[in-house]
Amino acid sequence: MAFDFQIIESDGVTAARAGRLTTPHGAVDTPVFMPVGTQATVKALTPEQVAGAGAKIILANTYHLFLRPGAEVVAGAGGLHGFMNWDGPLLTDSGGFQVFSLADSRKVSEDGVTFRSHIDGSKQILTPETSIEVQHALGADIIMAFDECSAYPSERAYAEEALARTTRWLARCVDEHNRSGDKDRQALFGIMQGGAYHDLRRRSAEEITAHDLPGYAIGGLAVGEPKDVMYDMLDDCVDLLPRDRPRYLMGVGSPDDILEAVARGVDMFDCVIPTREARHGDAMTARGRINIKNARFERDYGPLDAECDCYTCRNYTRAYLRHLFKAGEMLSATLLSLHNIRFLTRLMERVRASIKDGSFTKLKADLLFYYYGARK
Amino acid sequence: MAFDFQIIESDGVTAARAGRLTTPHGAVDTPVFMPVGTQATVKALTPEQVAGAGAKIILANTYHLFLRPGAEVVAGAGGLHGFMNWDGPLLTDSGGFQVFSLADSRKVSEDGVTFRSHIDGSKQILTPETSIEVQHALGADIIMAFDECSAYPSERAYAEEALARTTRWLARCVDEHNRSGDKDRQALFGIMQGGAYHDLRRRSAEEITAHDLPGYAIGGLAVGEPKDVMYDMLDDCVDLLPRDRPRYLMGVGSPDDILEAVARGVDMFDCVIPTREARHGDAMTARGRINIKNARFERDYGPLDAECDCYTCRNYTRAYLRHLFKAGEMLSATLLSLHNIRFLTRLMERVRASIKDGSFTKLKADLLFYYYGARK
């Protein structure tokens, strides 16, 4: 049994659940946060540093790797695991979201999407079949269906069209994976779309769950809508996905969004927030976000976060981290990224433990209160 | 005995010697290469990565740390060791060289040097006394005298004036260190100047060795002169320094220069070469330097250097490293820096072993032949 998902404990009050997702490269306790290694590296960190920060599974971006270095180069190294020196579970997205958010001169047809590379302007095409082929070559444990993500806000007509195409493309992804894939090696997840329209979300859920897949994702949220819209959609959406399969909310990584989504039954998250914010000097701490550039840290010889057990907090002061940042030293990105990832993996550890001992609702309230202070 | 230098073995053919330098933060086998951590970090590496690459002692730059974050900020962390999380031996230079190479609007007087900070244009002054005071606050195991480094080429009159001032400033550095320093904690080294003039070098050596110091450095070489001029100067210079004290050739780090200098009796080296070249994609290998950007490495699944035992060579392919570099990923600087430092620390390990077993001359010839190929 290469792939498996077991729910270990369900929260009595909310829809939160603690589980375990098994993959060919190891098991992952859920709810889980997955750091993003867009170009086959979590920015500024070695895989050992990523693992040291408590991460068990990394996401990589098919769109970026398809364009550079190309699927053949990665396949020549025996796939992404060997290429990037990460022996744990990996997930690749399908390129769908990036084609819609990054590429130039995009043209969508029933066949797929033609676009110009944001790197060199070259003309490229991604279809459900090529996305799956590329993801086969990359070899991640979990691969994603090629979808069309409607932006927020979207007219109902377009959201409906995008979800319908996503449904048709899913059938082609499933066919391609059946034809040329290895289901013991790679699990294909489907993606729900439907914009901010409850009935469209319901329709999308029904259509994607018509395929018996090892997992399902919620796409098209965290794309610019207000948080209350996202939570309102999640109120409905999550429950539409099978209870016995992992549910993955794509692109979400802020502590409040994670906690609200876990409460609604989501198991998996990914986001560039911890590493991107780190590169801007922002550190997530138990008392909220701080920016290490701030002059008040010039002679602050305490750790970034007194409650944190990460390498950075055990060994470096705010004064040193501020110095590194002000001096333009790359090590600041490394040390803050490592800390921010650890902040989120530790958050998930506490979430999992609280689901098991029945204290999730209290933990959620406490974490939101301390992290956001008066803001919530 | 906080500081000690013992010669363990001398080469029978050349002036090379293998020794051991003891400091309050540990012992260092010589000849040794010291990576540069200009701003209290070896660029792109954690201290553990630096140690993992075989480095035992790091150099930091007083000029940079004096300007940013300032000596008080570092002193508040208990000194540079705690500030940067490096518990091994440290050496700080005096700021002399940087004042002459980096600062704007420099004015030299007998008292010291006034200049404008290259960071914010602020007016600053460094004197022999303030340089030593700052180095006391930084707390490195080895500190350097404040000198005036004449550029190459320099008129004889200026080289003579700079060496004379260096001699007078050394007396003031020694006085300041006697007055306010702790010689069990920090060893002060003097610096020879004299440009490319043999008799001036001799005069400088006589004048600085009139002070009984725990070590002596050769400054003002590797500042743009042809290599044969440097080697010709070293032919004389090194021997003018006491045999029983460590001899430090400042700013040298290319394999040929290191080997030629070791053959002439030099014990210590520092240079930004391994880390700076790494950031430009240049890797030092047993068969010479390669640039990882080169298209021929696109599908090269071998290590950077088949003879190397470093973390990078054990875990990553040239194809991956090229991808990281082309994709602008910071990890490329980390992995190449780590490799280049290991290349030099491994070179020094082999040099030390060869001095002990009498094969240094052969090793030197072999290394130069393979590294530089037809060029030598």
DSSP string, B288-306: EEEETTSGGGTT--S-S-T
Q: Using CB atoms, which residue from A85, A326, A334 is nearest to B46? A: A334
Mutate to test the interface with B, among A299, A330, A335 (most CBs of B within 10 A): A330
Write out pLDDT tens, residues B112-163.
999 999 999 999 999 999 999 999 999 999 999 999 999 999 999 999 999 9
Q: Tell whether the model's pLDDT for residue B93 goes beyond 60.
A: yes
In chain B the beta strands, taken as DSSP E runs, fall at: 4-10, 17-23, 26-30, 32-35, 58-60, 90-92, 104-108, 113-116, 123-126, 142-144, 187-192, 215-218, 247-249, 268-271, 282-285, 288-291
How far is CA B263 from its chain centroid? 17
Q: What pLDDT score does A376 carry?
A: 47
Q: Quick check: A83 and B329 CB within 8 A? A: no
Please indicate, yes or no, whether the overall pTM of this predicted structure exceeds 0.90: yes
Q: What are the backbone angles phi and psi of residue A221, rounded to the nearest 5°?
A: -110, 170
Mean pLDDT of B300-316: 98
Q: Does the annotation mark A257 as catalytic?
A: no
pLDDT for res B367:
96
Cα separation, A66 vs A124, whole angstroms: 10
Which of A41, A45, A80, A299 to mutate against chain B (most B CBs within 10 Å)?
Answer: A41
List, in order, residues 6 or more apart from B261 with CB less than 8 Å away: B234, B238, B249, B252, B269
Tell which of B120, B300, B330 to mutate to test the A interface (max A CBs under 10 Å).
B330
Kindly write down the DSSP assignment for every residue of A342-376, as one continuous string.
Answer: HHHHHHHHHHHHHHHHT-HHHHHHHHHHHHHGGG-
Give kind and range of the element (H or E) at residue A28. Answer: strand A26-30
Residue of B320, B325, B326, B332 to mutate, interface with A, max A Cβ within 10 Å: B320
Closest residue in chain B to residue A70, using alpha carbons only:
B323
CA distance B36 to chain A (A): 13
CB B138, CB B84: distance < 8 Å: no
How far is B68 from chain A, CA to nearest CA, in Å?
A: 7
Give yes or no for a contact between B145 and B165, defined as CB atoms under 8 angstroms apart.
no
Strands A215-218 and A187-192: parallel
Residue B299 has its nearest CB partner, among A41, A76, A315, at A76
Which of A43, A320, A322 lies closest to B84 in CB terms? A320
Mean pLDDT across chain B, nearest whole number? 97
From the list B109, B108, B111, B130, the residue with the least C-alpha distance to B63 is B130
Whole-number pLDDT of residue A1: 63
- Out of A72, A85, A298, name the one closest to residue B73 (CB): A298
Q: Does residue A133 have a pLDDT over 80?
A: yes
Q: Show which residues on chain B lie within 8 Å of chain A, measured between beta carbons.
A: 39-41, 43-46, 64, 68-69, 72-73, 76-77, 83-85, 298-299, 301, 311, 315-317, 319-320, 322-324, 326-327, 329-331, 333-335
Residue A322 CB contacts under 8 Å (≥ 6 apart), including other chains: A292, A293, A294, A297, A298, A300, B69
What is residue A300's predicted lDDT score, i.e. its pLDDT?
98
Placement of tokens 């460094």 in the chain: B126
User: Which residues on adjacent β-strands are paired with residue B90?
Assistant: B58
On average, the pLDDT of chain A sits at 97
Residues of B acting as catalytic residues: 93, 270
For residue A46, list chain B residues with Cβ-Cβ distance below 8 A.
Answer: 311, 331, 334-335
In this predicted model, what pLDDT tens digit does every residue of A2-20 receive, in sequence order? 899 999 999 999 999 999 9
| pLDDT value, residue B374 | 53
Under 8 Å between Cβ of B219 and B191:
yes
Mean pLDDT over residues A29-49, rounded?
Answer: 98
Tell the residue number behind the tokens 């990359």, with chain if given: A138
User: Where along chain A do its domains lie?
Assistant: 4-271
Tell me the fold of B4-271. Answer: TIM Barrel (3.20.20)
If pLDDT is split at 50, 70 and 90, which confidence band does B373 have? confident
Q: Residue B114, exposed/middle/buried by CB under 10 A (0-12, 13-18, 19+)?
A: middle
CA distance B310 to B274: 14
Nearest-CA distance B72 → chain A (Å): 9
Q: Convert the pLDDT of each residue in A273-293 to its tens digit.
A: 999 999 999 999 999 999 999
pLDDT at A375 exceeding the cut of 70:
no
Mean pLDDT of all residues in A362-368:
96
Residue A316 has its nearest CB partner, among B39, B85, B335, at B85
> Per the CB < 8 Å rule, is A323 touching B44?
no
- pLDDT for B294 equals 98
d(CA A13, CA A256): 18
pLDDT value at A374 more than 90: no
Summarize pLDDT for A57-67 with one digit per residue, the tens.
Answer: 999 999 999 99
Return all residues near A190 (Cβ < 8 A) that are at least 6 apart: A145, A170, A173, A208, A209, A211, A213, A215, A216, A217
Distance from CA of A145 to the nearest CA of B (A): 25
- Give, in degrees to the nearest 5, the angle at Cα B235 between B230 and B239: 125
Which of chain B's residues have a Cβ under 8 Å away from the Cβ of A315?
A: 85
What was the pLDDT predicted at B314? 98
Per-residue pLDDT tens digits for A67-117: 999 999 999 999 999 999 999 999 999 999 999 888 888 999 999 999 999
Calpha distance A193→B149 (Å, rounded): 68
What is the token pair recorded at B315?
């875990």
Please, are residues B19 and B267 in contact by the beta-carbon 8 Å criterion? yes
**What residues of chain B lie within 8 A of the CB of A316, using their CB?**
85
ipTM of predicted assembly, 2 dp: 0.98
Name the minimum distance, in Å, from the CA of B273 to any CA of chain A.
17
Residues 6+ apart with CB under 8 A from A177: A132, A136, A143, A183, A186, A188
